[in-house]
Amino acid sequence: MQEGAKAKAAEIGVDLTVGSGKEEGDDAGQIELIENAIAQGQAGILITPMSVNVNDAIKKARDAGLYVIALDTPTDPPDVVDITFATDNCLAGQAIGEWAAGKLNGEKAIIAELVIFNDRVVSVDYCRANGFLQGMGIEVPTLEDMTSPAATGSYTTGAGGEYEIVCLEATGANEAGGKTGMETCLSKNPDINVVYTINEPTAFGAAEALKAAGKTIGQDVFVVSVDGGLAGVEAVKAGTIQATSQQYPLKMASLGVEAIKTIADGGAAPTNTSANGQFFDTGVVLCTDDPMDTVVSAPQESAQFCIDNAWG
């Protein structure tokens, strides 16, 4: 995102300040950056919000006249910001769930879910994870609650079959967390055959744990993910990940910089384009070299196509 924002800022003559929290979940760091932007008299803010804990600071920025755009991660509720430029994360999760159900073809789904947090509500987290379950045809009573689906039951997509959710492990969305989370899940049930991961670094850690446990990825177990960075889609081509939903963060950031300049120059604000009318949809593609007829929520493209269009 920084790369996309910097390139567009240089192209159209925008003074861009870049900052970030110290780590995933650093709400205080983001709040400090928002307050700095207000004090500096910036025209607007592009932010990937950590959680609902930054909502008050965003409201303060908007009250001060800054135009605030969320990137990738919609705020909860959506109208905390002026607009969001994002992948439809629910749809991205749904696509990999549809793929997994098709690949299982009626076999029992023994599922590990490797998410970001277990102590806060973040839309990208619950939307991808519960979207994945919905894509499989598993009932999700409350979208915002990753613990709301029943631990056992039936999935209905494709041939349909029984399922068991073995674990819901917080990983911090990083490789080390993915490895530890997968080890914990395998200790609960070594027969896991579907691994949902919040992103590809988490998938890399999970793959390491699976291989150490003697599992053959792509045969004994299928790993699915979301993001579509270069390393991630190269892993699809190599067979470490079987399917991942590719998003376009450079596009999000580039459009965001452009929108704030347009508004600062007196132009019109952007409008929402998503099906639910809550954000500006920057698109999603399912990357896999093993396409499934069960995937209906996103176009399927080869790993090579996704490599050619990857960020990072």
Question: Do residues 230 and 272 share a domain?
Answer: no
Is-above-0.85 flag for pTM? no
pLDDT at 249 (0 to 100): 87
Residues 104 and 239 placed together within one structural domain of the fold: yes
Tokens of 39: 């004090």
pLDDT digits (tens, 9 = 90+) for 164-184: 999 999 999 999 999 999 999
Residue 76: the pLDDT is 84
CATH code, domain carrying 27: 3.40.50.2300
Check: CB of residue 113 under 8 Å from CB of residue 100.
no
Coil, strand or helix at 137: coil
- CA gap 46, 72 in Å, rounded: 10
Q: Given a cut of 70, is residue 1 above it in pLDDT? A: yes
203 — phi, psi (to 5°)?
A: -65, -35
What is the model's pLDDT at position 21? 85
Residue 289: pLDDT above 80? yes
Q: Identify whether residues 164 and 64 lie together within a single domain.
A: no
Residues 178, 11: Cα–Cα separation, whole Å? 38
When pLDDT is cut at 50, 70 and 90, the band that residue 227 belongs to is very high
Q: What is the pLDDT of residue 121?
A: 86
The neighbouring-strand residues paired with 46 are 69
Q: Which two tokens stand for residue 243?
A: 């399917």
Among the listed ranges 34-38, 85-89, 262-266, which one has the minimum average pLDDT value?
Answer: 85-89
147 and 293, same domain (yes or no): yes
Query: Both 182 and 203 in a single domain?
Result: yes
Residue 293 — pLDDT band, cuts 50, 70, 90? very high
Q: Provide the CB-side half-sphere exposure for 261 (13 A, CA).
A: 16
181 shares its domain with 298:
yes
| Contact in structure between 87 and 283 (CB atoms under 8 Å) | yes
Q: Are residues 260 and 184 in the same domain?
A: no
**Residue 37: pLDDT band by 50, 70, 90 thresholds?**
very high
Alpha-carbon torsion angle 127, 133, 138, 139, nearest 10: -20
On the 0-12 / 13-18 / 19+ scale of CB atoms within 10 A, 187 is exposed
175 and 296 together in one domain: yes
The range of the structural domain enclosing residue 290 comes to: 89-246+284-308
Instruction: Say if residue 73 is in the same domain as residue 51.
Output: yes
Cα 126–97–255 angle (5° rounding)?
Answer: 60
What's the CA gap between 1 and 108, in Å, rounded?
A: 39
Query: Is the pLDDT assigned to residue 137 strictly greater than 70?
Result: yes
Nearest to 169 by CA among 152, 153, 192: 192
23: pLDDT strictly greater than 90: no
Domain count for the chain: 2
Residue pLDDT, tens place only, 203-222: 999 999 999 999 999 999 99
Both 125 and 182 in one domain: the answer is yes
pLDDT at residue 312 in the model = 67
Q: What is the mean pLDDT of the chain?
A: 95
Q: pLDDT per residue over 268-283, tens digit each?
A: 999 999 888 889 999 9
d(CA 154, CA 271): 39
Residue with tokens 């002026």, as numbered in its chain? 82
> Do 96 and 73 fall into the same domain?
no
Same-domain status, 38 and 121: no
